[in-house]
Amino acid sequence: MDKIHLNQMTFYGFHGVFPEEKKLGQRFLVDVVLEADLKQAGQADDLHYSIDYGLVYQLTKQVVEGQSKNLIEAVAEEVSEKLLSQFNPLKACTVKVIKPDPPIPGHYQSVAVEIYREKSL
């Protein structure tokens, strides 16, 4: 299956289990991999046969900057549901939600959740 990658989309949201996260908010990075047959789009050079990256960005932004959730797992799940329902050519997607600055002690670059979902027939 062919793949479209949108990497390190950056948003500001209010997700987390701690009250400070819901009040102050923080940055979230999102990677999305879209699986679809892109042969016809490439041959015809026509967006109609592909997936509009700008719309993928906007749908992802709506979720991440929208209603507060406790878990980034829930954020990833909602992003995948919206993408799979919006785009007909899309067969499956991988959504990775990265929390670069979680309020937990320790030294690390980030924490992240990655999910893979397929379109149900």
Pairing of strands 92-99, 2-13: unpaired
Tokens of 73: 């797992």
In terms of phi and psi (left: phi > 0; alpha: psi -120 to 50; beta: otherwise), the region of 16 is left
Please give the span between the terminal C-alpha atoms of the chain, in angstroms, as a whole number: 17
- 3 is an active site residue: no
Q: Which of 22, 39, 82, 99 is catalytic?
A: 99
Residues serving a catalytic function are 99
